[in-house]
């Protein structure tokens, strides 16, 4: 379909703003004034709406259908959350409004902090980080500040990460100025304790761990792991990407973790927005509270207050107090479940185990245990017998109107299919997905070509990603479309262009 720039018609326009006729525009110094207007598209509003509406018809969201993308927790996003986030008292509130004029917002944040402290089993919460990966980096900055305060900056150089970890973990380690050490996974899908013991010593700053892991397995030795780190004075960081498995069932703080990030866009239903926004609050033990980002939202009697007076704070990791609109949605979501939040995680785990039980004969199961909220199958049996890959299975699932699972991750499982149904799917949907997966396994034997050419009937067929990376065309090339290089009309103050 056309790009929005290809709908452009010189002189057409959608929006207008009121222009006070009695005022003149002050002069901008010549060397600072824009010479050539930006080539924004020119089109009437109806064409704009049709363009973007057509784009939405070429996209798939949770509202469209089942979206079992592993480790992403693609649960239903309640519509009421959108209604409350749009209340003018939230949507139109300026972040520099003084505290008297923002008591409702501050109370909401304070309440949410307390809820998250209870759910994680930790003492203090900062809502500031913008997403999970920023929560990770913030957590590692807290480690740095904590060890610096203890005079151990030079000594504590390494952070240990499991080989099943999300790529964000090792990337965050580097950005925080630490050295990475990787630890292996054992035959049951737990951290290999022998490997771990050989890598932890008094140069260790901490561990980053997802539990349940990206294999969807709860580490059976978590208490021993916690002892190994705490015995050398190191800290444990919990990657909360998989928190949806354990709310009200097992708390990271009780597992021994000192710092936790929470993905509000996963467990707590902030819509994923095609790739964000997210929210990545962090929760910590009491002795780490002084290092949390400023400002802290604190309660003083009946009033709520932003506290900047935290001399040991790492500082700010983003603007203001964090992605407030995300907080409103997640707060509303938690109010809905309330004290029954455990049922959310129970159903998420039940749904995953049900799918696992029904699929494990048709696909390889690298770790044959009960799973938590997600599980990892391998298509290596289909590859070996019929030349069908995890990618082929994923593409064929689209023909059955399902979004594919996460594929080729975690990296330690070949031909990985990582499936997370979440709690918001009905048994009927799960059964239909099983039927599709079983049909695809049969098709792998009977009509492999159908899988290799999938998907069918989508706006595009399989795309050439190598060509995309090689050509690196990352913006519209106006110059390749001569009929569109005409300069847009603009008021007289703009000079003629100096070339397209």
Beta bridge partners of 283: 125, 260
Task: Please state, in angstroms and rounded to a whole number, the distance separating the CA atoms of residues 227 and 208.
Answer: 15
Which residue in 273, 447, 481, 495 binds another protein (CB under 8 A)? 273
Query: Is 413 one of the binding residues for another protein (CB under 8 A)?
Result: no
Among residues 217 and 441, whose Cβ is nearest to another protein? 217
Among residues 131 and 191, whose Cβ is nearest to another protein? 131
CA 82 to chain centre: 19
Q: Say if CB 386 and CB 394 are below 8 A apart.
A: no
Among residues 187 and 460, whose Cβ is nearest to another protein? 460
Task: Please state, in angstroms and rounded to a whole number, the distance separating the CA atoms of residues 192 and 184.
Answer: 6
Query: Is 365 one of the binding residues for another protein (CB under 8 A)?
Result: no
Task: Please state, in angstroms and rounded to a whole number, the distance separating the CA atoms of residues 159 and 182.
Answer: 9
Specify the DSSP class assigned to residue 28.
P
Query: Is 243 one of the binding residues for another protein (CB under 8 A)?
Result: no
Nearest distance in Å: CB 2, another protein: 10
SS (H, E, C) 245-300: HCCCCCCHHHHCCCEEEECCCCCCCCCCCCCCCCCCCEEECHHHHHHCCCCEEEEE
Nearest distance in Å: CB 382, another protein: 19
Structural tokens at position 48? 């704009």
Query: Is 133 one of the binding residues for another protein (CB under 8 A)?
Result: yes
Nearest distance in Å: CB 29, another protein: 6
Which residue in 122, 124, 132, 359 binds another protein (CB under 8 A)? 132
Query: Is 496 one of the binding residues for another protein (CB under 8 A)?
Result: no
Stretch that binds another protein, among 21-29, 192-200, 201-209, 441-449 (CB under 8 A): 21-29
What is the torsional sign of CA 259, 264, 268, 274? negative
3-class state of residue 68 by DSSP: coil
Query: Is 216 one of the binding residues for another protein (CB under 8 A)?
Result: no
Specify the DSSP class assigned to residue 445.
H
Nearest distance in Å: CB 50, another protein: 11
Which residue in 154, 194, 465, 483 binds another protein (CB under 8 A)? 465
Number of residues engaging another protein in binding (CB under 8 A) = 208
Angle among Cα 253, 411, 225 to the nearest 5 degrees reads 30
Query: Is 464 one of the binding residues for another protein (CB under 8 A)?
Result: yes
Query: Is 172 one of the binding residues for another protein (CB under 8 A)?
Result: yes
Which residue in 139, 164, 183, 251 binds another protein (CB under 8 A)? 251
Specify the DSSP class assigned to residue 69.
B
Stretch that binds another protein, among 201-209, 232-240, 344-352, 380-388 (CB under 8 A): 344-352
Query: Is 240 one of the binding residues for another protein (CB under 8 A)?
Result: no
Subset of residues 88 to 127 that bind another protein, contact rule: CB under 8 A: 88-98, 100-105, 107-108, 115, 118-119, 121
Query: Is 25 one of the binding residues for another protein (CB under 8 A)?
Result: yes
Query: Is 387 one of the binding residues for another protein (CB under 8 A)?
Result: no
Using alpha carbons only, how large is the chain's radius of gyration in Å? 26
Structural tokens at position 165? 């970890």
Query: Is 462 one of the binding residues for another protein (CB under 8 A)?
Result: yes
Query: Is 322 one of the binding residues for another protein (CB under 8 A)?
Result: yes
Nearest distance in Å: CB 432, another protein: 14
Side-chain half-sphere CA neighbours of 230 within 13 A:
10
Angle among Cα 343, 215, 142 to the nearest 5 degrees reads 80
Subset of residues 186 to 215 that bind another protein, contact rule: CB under 8 A: none
Among residues 297 and 445, whose Cβ is nearest to another protein? 297
Stretch that binds another protein, among 85-93, 201-209, 232-240, 436-444 (CB under 8 A): 85-93
Which residue in 298, 468, 486, 500 binds another protein (CB under 8 A)? 468
C-beta contacts of 21-26 below 8 A and 24+ residues apart: 25/493
Query: Is 493 one of the binding residues for another protein (CB under 8 A)?
Result: yes
Query: Is 61 one of the binding residues for another protein (CB under 8 A)?
Result: yes
Which residue in 301, 302, 475, 483 binds another protein (CB under 8 A)? 475
- DSSP letters, 181-239, are EEE-B-TTSSB-HHHHHTT-STTEEEEEE-SS-TTS---TTHHHHHHHHHHTT-EEEEE
Query: Is 445 one of the binding residues for another protein (CB under 8 A)?
Result: no
Which residue in 227, 230, 342, 442 binds another protein (CB under 8 A)? 342
CA 4 to chain centre: 28
3-class state of residue 97 by DSSP: coil
Q: Say if CB 238 and CB 252 are below 8 A apart.
A: yes
Subset of residues 367 to 386 that bind another protein, contact rule: CB under 8 A: 369-370
**Rounded-to-10 torsion of CA 342, 348, 351, 352:** -130
Task: Please state, in angstroms and rounded to a whole number, the distance separating the CA atoms of residues 321 and 319.
Answer: 7
CA 154 to chain centre: 33
Subset of residues 144 to 163 that bind another protein, contact rule: CB under 8 A: 144
Which residue in 68, 206, 323, 366 binds another protein (CB under 8 A)? 323
Query: Is 414 one of the binding residues for another protein (CB under 8 A)?
Result: no
Query: Is 343 one of the binding residues for another protein (CB under 8 A)?
Result: yes
Stretch that binds another protein, among 40-48, 197-205, 229-237, 439-447 (CB under 8 A): 40-48
Query: Is 417 one of the binding residues for another protein (CB under 8 A)?
Result: no
């Amino acid at each position: 379909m056309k790009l929005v720039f290809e709908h452009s018609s010189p002189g057409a326009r959608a929006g207008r703003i009121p222009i006070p006729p009695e005022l003149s525009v002050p002069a901008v110094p010549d060397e600072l004034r824009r010479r050539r207007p930006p080539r924004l598209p020119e089109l009437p509003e109806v064409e704009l709406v049709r363009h973007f509406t057509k784009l939405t018809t070429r996209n798939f969201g949770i509202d469209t259908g089942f979206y079992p993308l592993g480790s992403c927790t693609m649960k239903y996003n309640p519509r009421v959350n959108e209604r409350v986030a749009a209340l003018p008292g939230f949507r139109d509130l300026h972040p520099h409004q003084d505290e008297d004029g923002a008591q409702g917002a501050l109370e909401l944040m304070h309440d949410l902090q307390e809820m998250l402290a209870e759910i994680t089993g930790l003492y203090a919460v900062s809502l500031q980080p913008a997403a999970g990966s920023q929560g990770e980096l913030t957590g590692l900055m807290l480690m740095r500040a904590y060890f610096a305060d203890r005079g151990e900056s030079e000594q504590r150089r390494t952070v240990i990460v499991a080989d099943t970890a999300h790529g964000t973990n090792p990337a965050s380690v580097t950005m925080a100025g630490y050295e990475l050490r990787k630890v292996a996974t054992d035959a049951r899908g737990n951290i290999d304790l022998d490997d771990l013991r050989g890598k932890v010593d008094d140069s260790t700053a901490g561990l980053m761990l997802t539990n349940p892991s990206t294999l969807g397995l709860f580490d059976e030795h978590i208490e021993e792991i916690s002892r190994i780190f705490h015995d050398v004075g190191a800290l444990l960081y919990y990657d909360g990407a998989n928190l949806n498995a354990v709310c009200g069932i097992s708390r990271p703080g009780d597992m021994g973790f000192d710092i936790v990030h929470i993905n509000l866009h996963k467990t707590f239903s902030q819509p994923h927005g095609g790739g964000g926004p997210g929210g990545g609050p962090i929760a910590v033990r009491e002795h780490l509270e002084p290092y949390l980002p400023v400002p802290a939202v604190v309660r003083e009697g009946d009033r709520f207050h932003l506290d900047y007076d935290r001399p040991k704070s790492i500082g700010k990791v983003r603007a203001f107090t964090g992605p407030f609109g995300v907080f409103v949605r997640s707060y509303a979501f938690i109010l809905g479940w309330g004290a029954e939040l455990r049922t959310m995680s129970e159903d998420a785990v039940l749904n995953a185990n049900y799918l696992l039980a029904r699929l494990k004969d048709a696909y390889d199961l690298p770790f044959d245990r009960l799973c938590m909220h997600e599980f990892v199958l391998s298509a290596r049996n289909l590859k070996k017998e019929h030349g069908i890959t995890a990618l082929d299975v994923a593409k064929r699932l689209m023909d059955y109107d399902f979004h594919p699972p996460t594929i080729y991750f975690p990296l330690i499982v070949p031909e990985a299919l990582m499936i997370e149904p979440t709690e918001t799917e009905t048994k009927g949907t799960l059964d239909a997905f099983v039927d599709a997966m079983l049909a695809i396994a049969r098709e792998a034997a009977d009509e492999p070509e159908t899988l290799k050419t999938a998907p069918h009937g989508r706006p595009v067929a399989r795309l050439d990603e190598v060509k995309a990376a090689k050509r690196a065309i990352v913006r519209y090339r106006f110059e390749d479309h001569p009929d569109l290089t005409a300069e847009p009309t603009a008021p007289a103050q703009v000079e003629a262009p100096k070339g397209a």
